[in-house]
């Protein structure tokens, strides 16, 4: 059973460790280490813009929108269970104008956005840009 809940302070560290997980870091635009203190400061400002996917009541990923830009990450222990698609589908209802900037080399994320009803509306040397069909 999947649910999407608003982010709370109990998930701040989960988001940080998931973002820094070795299987996830290469998919992010910025490859930086984030300290717990940096995460706390960031979440105090932006935490309300994030949601947590719960799979059988356990955190399985997160999604957020800052300045209409989507941030998404799935826990490696829960990949291939439809969690990323679930998060994007729910986000489309909550933030229908949100867009994504995806590294061109990130095949998994590029395929995810296309599979979930987004289309590539622009590209450059490094990135593909997606928005929801009909938006």
Q: DSSP for 69-111, please give it.
A: EEEEEE-GGGTTSSHHHHHHHHHHHH-TT-EEEEETT-HHHHH
Q: How far apart are CA 49 and CA 134, in angstroms?
A: 23
Query: Quick one: pLDDT band at residue 135, thresholds 50, 70, 90?
Result: low
Cα angle 28, 32, 34; round to 5: 110
User: What confidence score (pLDDT) does residue 98 get?
Assistant: 96
Please state the rounded mean pLDDT for residues 61-70. 96
Domains and CATH numbers, the chain: 2-98 (3.40.630.30)
Query: Quick one: pLDDT band at residue 28, thresholds 50, 70, 90?
Result: low
Query: Quick one: pLDDT band at residue 27, thresholds 50, 70, 90?
Result: low
The answer to which of 4-8, 25-29, 52-56 has the lowest mean pLDDT is 25-29
Please state the rounded mean pLDDT for residues 99-110. 94
Q: How far apart are CA 59 and CA 17, in angstroms?
A: 12
């Amino acid at each position: 059973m999947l649910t999407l809940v608003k982010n709370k302070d109990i998930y701040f560290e989960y988001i940080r460790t998931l973002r820094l997980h070795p299987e996830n870091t290469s998919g992010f635009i910025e490859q930086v280490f984030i300290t717990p203190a940096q995460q706390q400061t960031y979440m105090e400002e932006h935490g309300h813009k994030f949601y947590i996917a719960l799979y059988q009541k356990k955190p399985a990923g997160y999604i957020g929108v800052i300045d209409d830009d989507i941030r998404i990450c799935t826990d490696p222990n829960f990949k291939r269970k439809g969690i990323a698609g679930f998060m994007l589908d729910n986000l489309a209802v909550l933030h229908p104008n949100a867009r994504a900037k995806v590294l061109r080399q990130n095949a998994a994320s590029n395929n995810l956005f296309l599979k979930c009803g987004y289309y590539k509306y622009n590209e450059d040397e490094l990135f593909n840009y997606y928005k929801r069909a009909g938006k």
